Amino acid sequence: MSDSSSARQAIGATTRVGFAQADISCPPGTPLGGNARTDKAARGVHDPLHATVAVIAREGHHHVMVGLDLLSAPSPLVDAIASAVESSTGIPASCVVVSATHTHSGPDVGQGHGMDRHDYTMVDEWERAAVSSIAACTVAAQRDAVPAGMRVTSGEVPGLSFNRRLIHRDGSTRMNWEGVPPDDVLGARGPIDPSLLVLAFHDDAGAPLGAVVHFTLHPAILVGHEWLVSADYVAEASELVSQALGDRPVLFLNGALGNINHLDFRQRGRAIGFSESARVGTALGGAAVEAISASSDPTGLDVVSFRAFTVTLEQRTVGREQLEAAQALLASSSGDVEALDGIPPEAYAQWTVTAGRRLTPLLDVRIAILRLENVVLVYVPFEVFVEFGLLLRDAFPGQLVKVVSPANGYFGYLPTAVAFAEGGYEPTLGTSTISPGEGERLFHRIGTELRCMLDEEGVAQR
């Protein structure tokens, strides 16, 4: 089952672009996401979380890109934002796309995903205020939109990202945060994607309006370090780009980050802390600034098109034996959970008896594709494995195709069929619910939709 819709604006018309940004940091006491802790309450703010909005208007059609410094963008939050934007601006909710940078040091918008029993009242209160701020941002971006062009620069930033799934000498899959002795590791189980994409928007006079930066790397360097709110490495990277553009807003998009982090298994010790996030962010931001500086020729923005569709995927469900085992574990557990990396058995058990037992065999997921010139942004509501992003990129060599993940919802990890066979953290029921092979089916459908989209627009494909 599926449905699709698309919109294309005529070439030759003027494209107007506006940016706006708001601070959406949560107050002390708010439970932080991305942490398995008995105490997840934020103690303060190390650096602010932002909501960044870009409004792109052409031929009377508007598209809204919302980027959030959050762990995810669950469907209820996406729907609330889209509805508020429509009410405030008249822009249809269906034209709003929402992505999260995936920082592990922001409010727990997933409310524990059923893995704990914390009080999330403060998250609800924060969310209501944040949605209002995002709507106001969109109003400002729409109001300030001016005729615009876009410079596209791309390159690679080596040495920052690593595939976190490792092959142990005994053939098992181990995660790079487990501290396995380097001599016991045969190598990584998959590739990385070190590519950097920067879209720098400017007005008719060449003055910067804002930028979109895309890179593929888990912002899990801090993982709620010192219980402080932070955008992780995205903070330093975005700030450098913003300064280079005269303090204009920067919307950061993460890629197919499901199995990618910053840990090099060859280096002993867990690289964590604000100095490490600053190191990674400064390197990435510096590379982005250098890319912008190297692109001096002004370009137009004559192609803006959009396509949205729904795909129904198969999901695993919790059986009676799994449920009884989880209930037994919880009955014998102290209830204390402390694990910054991965998820402990007690948390999986809690998930099984709450969210897990409610799983249905079928899951509807919403996909959106936004094309700006030869840049194609594919919004996917999973933590997508990098292999899928590379596969989609290679299938369209004439376009710059980038997966945006997680976006427009959140349904856990999307591992490859091979990863399910290999085991490890991400395919475990609880961190992923999708059935083996459904990721391949989803991306086949995405490729088909994109091919149809380009064919309808008369784009020659090599």
Residues 337 and 390 placed together within one structural domain of the fold: no
Residues 287 and 339 placed together within one structural domain of the fold: no
Taking phi first (over 0 means left), then psi (-120 to 50 degrees means alpha), and beta for anything else, what does residue 323 get?
alpha
Average pLDDT, the chain: 93
- The string of DSSP codes covering 34-87 is S-EES--B--EESS--EEEEEEEEETTEEEEEEEESSS---HHHHHHHHHHHHH
Report if residue 148 sits inside a domain.
yes
pLDDT per residue as tens digits for the range 426-453? 999 999 999 999 999 999 999 999 999 9
Report if residue 4 sits inside a domain.
no
Q: Residue 388: which domain range?
A: 12-303+370-420
Residues 18 and 91 placed together within one structural domain of the fold: yes
Residues 256 and 351 placed together within one structural domain of the fold: no
Q: Among residues 305, 345, 447, 339, which one has the least CA distance to residue 104?
A: 339
Number of domains in the chain: 2
Q: At residue 8, does pLDDT exceed 50?
A: no
* CA angle (204 as vertex; 290, 12 as ends), nearest 5: 110
pLDDT per residue as tens digits for the range 389-431? 999 999 999 999 999 999 999 999 999 999 999 999 999 999 9
Report if residue 445 sits inside a domain.
no
Report if residue 172 sits inside a domain.
yes
Residues 241 and 326 placed together within one structural domain of the fold: no
Q: Which residue has the higher pLDDT, 51 or 460?
A: 51
The radius of gyration computed from the CA coordinates of the chain, to the nearest angstrom, equals 21
Report if residue 186 sits inside a domain.
yes
Rounded distance, CA 75 to CA 64, Å? 16
Report if residue 459 sits inside a domain.
no
Q: At residue 67, does pLDDT exceed 90?
A: yes
Residues 345 and 379 placed together within one structural domain of the fold: no
Residues 388 and 345 placed together within one structural domain of the fold: no
Res 9: pLDDT: 45
Residues 30 and 126 placed together within one structural domain of the fold: yes
Res 1: pLDDT: 42
Query: Do the Cβ atoms of 424 and 454 come closer than 8 Å?
Result: no
Residues 67 and 213 placed together within one structural domain of the fold: yes
Band (284; pLDDT cuts 50, 70, 90): very high
Report if residue 284 sits inside a domain.
yes
Res 258: pLDDT: 98
Residues 216 and 72 placed together within one structural domain of the fold: yes
Rounded distance, CA 200 to CA 88, Å? 27
Res 11: pLDDT: 39
Residues 160 and 242 placed together within one structural domain of the fold: yes
Q: Which residue has the higher pLDDT, 8 or 151?
A: 151
Residues 69 and 137 placed together within one structural domain of the fold: yes
Report if residue 430 sits inside a domain.
no
